[in-house]
Structure 1
Amino acid sequence: MNNRDSYNLIHQALTKAFLEGRAKPERCKLPRYKNTVDELVHLLYKLSKSDDIGNDKHAKDMNRIRSALNTFVKQSAFAAHSDRDYYREYKRGMNIVPDLIEILANCEHLRYERFRAEDPKAPSVEELLSIPVCLKAVRSMSLVKIAQIIYVEESIKNSIALLIPQHPKDEYPMARQMKRHFIIHYGFTNTGKTYHALLRLKAAETGVYLSPLRLLALEVQENLNSSGVPCSLLTGEEEDIVPDARHMSSTVEKLNLDEKYDVCVIDECQMIGDSQRGFAWTRAILGVQAEEIHLCTAPEALDLLKRVIDECGDTYEVVEHTRDTELIYVHAKYNIEEDVEQGDALVVFSKKSVLSIASELFSKDIQASVIYGALPYNTRKR
């Protein structure tokens, strides 16, 4: 861009800032016109006083501009600061504001040209004024100050914005480059969702199973190993690497997003809505590198999972699972002393209740295993 183009850009920016595109002052209302003139004169004086006088061409040009400004101010009636004099100038049609803008544009152009000569890394006028916040600032700041302060801040913000994807799915570029296909298994508890998904996992050359619980991950590892499919285990508390295993059973948080798999099974996907751990399911669904992904979920999460997959641009099919036998509810009150039988599982909702019932059973010579979340991992495993 040549000097003339730079000057024109500066002139256009100042005209827009002070006149909003209206070139003639008579189209401005009188009070606003007066304020505009005062602001321009103030900015010009501030700019002219900020330059050191030298013997170079720029210094001579700046002296010429200052001289023209002083003459202009002395000869213009608006220097008297009275509404009547402003109105007289306004009625006579003197182009006070455009004349001031022309002086200011020359001043800014010369100063910024010298600034860029001293700092080759400084942005061009075109680059500077292409940023809206910088363009807006020309009414109150010099281009040099805008480049030193606002432009630097905006450049840093823009650089950071480029590093942070606008959409969560874009945080996983490797997965976005793949053509992934999802099979959503939905249904109520004990309808065979995980069972059917694991059949595909066992048949694959490589695969990963993701579980919400360490014990469930262990159970699947043992299932695959007993079926002749070597499988390792990775949880927050334990790592069991089986030699030559090409399958992994893990808690969902431990998923390795850099690894590629043929098949991935993500269990209990309704937990994507959990306020504490839901992020792990979101991360796994968005980022796992597998061509075939099985999602096992309760019905209430089906629509959400479809929307997530659609956002990723992947394909999916839905498989509904139902119970082969009817679930029978027994509404009669359960009496531990009379109704408990060998093989029964008693589920309660607090550690205190677990220990209380276990103590009651022991007192009646009924042996019972106790399990709750705070037990050591090895104890629960046994």
Structure 2
Amino acid sequence: MQINGVSPLAAAHCESRAAIDAPPSFPPSRFTALRRLAGAKPALYARTRNQVDGAVTLLGPYFTHGLITLHEAFEYLRFRHGLTLRDKLPAELAWRSFFHETWQEHGNRIFEPIHEAPLTARHLRALPADIRVGATGVRVIDASIRQLYETGYLHNHQRLWLASYCIHYRKVDWRLAAGWLYGHLLDGDLASNFLSWQWVAGCFSSKPYLFDAENVVRFAPGLASAGTWIDRPRAELEAIARGRDDIGPEPGLHRGVSEPPLLTRPPGHTRPRDFMPLFSGRRVTLVHPWSLTRPRDASIAIGVIHLPFHTQHPWSRQRWDFVMSRMEEICDAVWIGDLRRLGELAVRCERLAARPTLSDGYREAFAALGTTPLAVTPMLPRPPRPGRSFSAYMKQLRRIAPQLFESVASAPRRTKLQHHGDEHNAP
């Protein structure tokens, strides 16, 4: 089986031991995404995925920004490794599919509680300064915030612990904190991020998620936080979570870091000169931040940044750099502004197309422009309703697509993923 006509095992060997041991980096190339997929070790992943230093795929930013699709990854895992939805790695990919199905059903209601949280408490309307600068005195929290600002990445357990600390022990409104984390993550996905924070808060789950120092020792011993507020009996932590008081930072002085600003537009980029005459009568594809792949046909590619969306959901500079460097590489031009002003382009071009997105503002603007939606193969068939939990979602999938839970012969045929012209862009 090959990816882009390149052996996946050969691609996997491009990862040096030093790169694996170093802090994670995310070059914005499809080659990197395919190389990481090829290098995935499903059995090791299943054993170690909950460990902060476990063998995770580091594919999040590439899924979020459309450099690789969930469908491509699942098909590769099925026919290269013989995996099904019973296996851990495909099942974890299915979580992202579940979150997006929930977003499809609820729309912007995902930014409000799906149901009432069981713990009613006072919620701060501002993120405390000690959290913003990573100076809480709780080692696992401070180290995670530093890592977030440095790399744009956090392991799933770090995300859960940070959310639980903010919501239940520091009494921060989950919506406020979720927006802060979303802006700094390279793989910040509105559905996955906001619904995960709801899950921790208990308004998208049967109970709130609490953590303690023992959790940290078990899954991240290097970030052990003995002697801090989280190093208390579970019953005492539950009482704190039910209470109204912010526990505050640990006593003493704690050195923090500067929070990188969240920006409402890509730094250093301005709207280009008028390119409308260049594309008159041509087939044009709009490439938005969640579809960073080359058009498969011979159409002109125009990268688009819809500023009204980013006013509501600003990003860190490193996330903007990831998106814009990729967009400039694969597009013939980049347009920054209000998409609704591109009406002239819609009139002049032969066909205007875009990959569908649920992102508020982009979705409405594409509809107003009359764009032709480009087909995207989903990872999984869509149930009548996604259900109120992941387990309910999986039960529905088992009924409508039982074959996805059944073993297949390992690599009985060659499945080739399209490279879209950049298979040799090794970082």
**Shorter-chain-normalised TM-score: which range?**
under 0.3
Q: Which has the larger radius of gyration?
A: 1
TM-score where L is the length of structure 1: 0.19
The higher-RCO structure (CA 8 Å, 6+ apart) is 2
Q: Normalized per residue, which structure has more strand? A: 1
